[in-house]
Structures are given as C-alpha cells and as structure tokens.
Amino acid sequence: MGGMHSFVYNAQPSRVVFGPGTAARVADEVRRLDRSRVLLLGGEHVRPQAELVEKALGGLQVARFDGAVMHTPVAVTEKVLGLVSEHDIDAVVAVGGGSTTGLSKAIAVRTGVDQVILPTTYAGSEVTPVLGETADGVKTTHSSPAILPETVIYDVEFTLSMPIPMALTSAINAMAHAVEALYAEHANPIIDTLALEAIRAIARGVPVLGADAADREGRSDLLLAAWLAGTCLSAGGMGLHHKLCHVLGGSFDLPHAATHTVVLPHVMAFNAPSVPAVMSRIADALGTPTAPAGVFDLVAAAGGPTTLAELGMSEGDLDEAAHLATERQYPNPREVTRVGVRRLLGDAYAGIRPE
C-alpha cells in the first residue's frame, strides 16, 4: 500500500509465556510478580486444567472459585469480592475462556490485584485492557490499563480437550478481532501485520479441527492466532461487529463466540463497499476470492453455526436488536443505520451466504 502513513500505536505492557507444558511455570510467574496469596478461578468445564494449576501453585493458593458466568454479571463479581477480602488475596490466577478472564479483570479493576491468565479457548480477551460487564440485562464495556492482565500463559495442552464446535466458534471469535482491527479507527502497520497473520493461522487451523481433535500443530496455530488477534483488539478498537455481538449477547442472552461466528460474514459484507482494499487483503489471507463468503464457507465447511435462528434468536426480536445496536454512533467504516443493520441481522438470522 502506497501513500503517506500517519498513526499512533500503543503497545500493551503484558508478559506472554507460550508453548506446550508452560502451565507448570505458573508458580514462578506469580512469584515473579512478588505475590503470594492467590485466588484460583476455574469452572466445571476446565476442571482437569484447574486441578493441574492448583497442584502447580501449591501453598501460593489460598482460595478458589469455580462459578464464572458468561457476560460477567456484576452480581457474581460482587460475590467473589467477598472472598478476595476474606483471604487477603493479592493475585488472581484464572483458568478458562472469556468468562473466567472477564471475572478476573472485574476483580482486578476493583481491587488492584495482579492477574495471571491461562486461557483454554481462543477468546483473546486476556491480552486486552477491555472489560464487558452485564447488569440488569445491559452489557457495558469499559477500558483501562488497570484491567489488563500482567501475565498470560498460553499452554497448547490446555486447548486440546476443547470440543471441536467450541474450538471453531472460539477461533472465529478471534478472527473477528483481527478483521475489525484492519479497518479500525486506530489501524496501524503493526496491527495490520498481526491481524493478517492471525487470519492466515485461523484459515490453516480450522480445517484440521475435524480431522484430528488433538492435532497439536493446528491447535497451536489457533492459539497463536488468538494471542495475535487479542493484541489487535486491544490496540485497534471495535466497530459494528463487536457492538452487535454485545447487544445480542447482553440483551438476548445468545452465546458469545457462536454469535461472533454467525454475524461476522454479514458485517464484513455490510462494510465491504467502504473498505474494498481491506477486504481484498483478508481474501488473500484466507486464500478465497472474496472475504465475507470466505469466512462463511470456512465456518460452514467445518460444521459451525451459520444462522442466528439456530442460536435461539427469535425473529420477532430482530427489530429491537437493530434499535439497540444503533442507539449511539461509534466508529465504523460504513455509516450504521437502523435499516442497514436490520437487513444485516435478517441475513444472519436466515443464514444467507454473502455474495
């Protein structure tokens, strides 16, 4: 791309430890932060990984909570704050996906404790200073340096047991971060490079998910993409796609990653006329003729969700969703109108392949 460059780039100050077996280093990472009273956050679906971390932490762990909930309800956070104060916690170690990471961030921003995150999905939020919390059915997002975790341990072994449907939707959730970063208000050459590499890694990793559930190289590609795409999200900002997914998740209780998976091709098709050069670069990274259809076909071929209907959305709620998503203006390459968003949601509801 030619022309004069002009941008601002803020690197987020966090430490990343990546590779198979790295979870064994969790106690060293806590001590490196000069912390000694750990609250471990886990959950039913990550019990084996949490048990390994509990063992590795040994005497550093003084409390544990396994009840993280999707969309980070404030009521749950308030319950855990009681544990933090009761046990004089100075660090949180979180094992899991976006729900556990969200709870860890919500605790940290209120108390100032340090965070060590061990992701088991490709949510990417572990490297962002962004927190989305839900209260009274409304999801509110805020950003602050105090929200950003200090250390992230990416252990590929922790993602091998992720069921294929979840691995797929989680990977496309990561792709959404990379896609939006390429046309974000604060786009810059560093983030562009990371975003395109994330998209390439996801295009490599998703097709092998079904071939072998424990394909280490494929899972390593997807985990690397999750880190890169999360880094894009933290620096590049968010547009229509993330706004829509927050509305559908926070107000209609749709599952987070699956919603990203269904909506992304349709938002890309909506924005494509305004950012043709970006869509061309994404298509090249995917190895497909067009970007929106390329993402749709990647998901469909892997057996992932392609309609809002199958996620439990009611057609009667589409008007209200379009209204909620367009109440306020926010950065997006194409003007966001209620009519345009309603049409987009209608296509996503029906699962129409973008042309």
Q: At what angle do helices 98-111 and 74-86 cross, to 10 degrees?
A: 60
Tell me the C-alpha distance between 258 and 235, whole Å.
24
**What stretches in the chain show pLDDT beneath 50?**
1
The count of C-alpha atoms lying within 13 angstroms of the C-alpha of 9, restricted to the half-sphere facing its C-beta, is: 12
**Does residue 250 sit in helix, strand or coil?**
helix
pLDDT of residue 201: 97
3-state helix, strand, coil in the chain (%, to 5): 60, 10, 30
Tell me the C-alpha distance between 231 and 299, whole Å.
23
CA-derived radius of gyration, the chain: 19
Q: Any bridge partners for residue 91, and if so which?
A: 38, 114
Q: Any bridge partners for residue 134, and if so which?
A: 73, 139
Encode 256-291: b = buried (16+ Cβ within 10 Å), e = exposed.
bbbbbbbbbbbbbbbbbeebeebbebbbebbebebb
Q: Which of 94, 80, 87 is nearest to 37 (CA)?
A: 87
Name the one residue in this structure whose structure tokens are 């971390």: 53
pLDDT of residue 186: 81
Tell me the C-alpha distance between 88 and 327, whole Å.
42
Q: Any bridge partners for residue 118, and if so which?
A: 95
pLDDT of residue 1: 45
Global confidence as pTM: 0.89
pLDDT of residue 214: 63
Q: Reading across the β-sheet that carries 114-119, which strands appear in turn? A: 15-18, 151-154, 114-119, 91-96, 38-41, 61-65
Q: Any bridge partners for residue 139, and if so which?
A: 134
Encode 104-136: b = buried (16+ Cβ within 10 Å), e = exposed.
bbbbbbeeebbbbbbbbbbbbbbbbbbbbbbee
pLDDT of residue 355: 84
311-319: long-range pairs with CB below 8 Å, 24+: 311/254, 311/255, 311/258, 311/259, 311/262, 312/253, 312/254, 313/248, 313/252, 313/254, 313/349, 315/349, 317/252, 318/342, 318/345, 318/346, 318/349
pLDDT of residue 212: 61
pLDDT above 70 covers a percentage of the chain that reads: 97
Q: Which of 144, 166, 37 is nearest to 99 (CA)?
A: 166
Which H or E run contains 119? strand 114-119
Q: At what angle do helices 189-205 and 216-236 cross, to 10 degrees?
A: 150
Tokens representing residue 278 in the block? 């970006």
Under 8 Å between Cβ of 177 and 232: yes
Q: At what angle do helices 164-182 and 276-286 cross, to 10 degrees?
A: 140
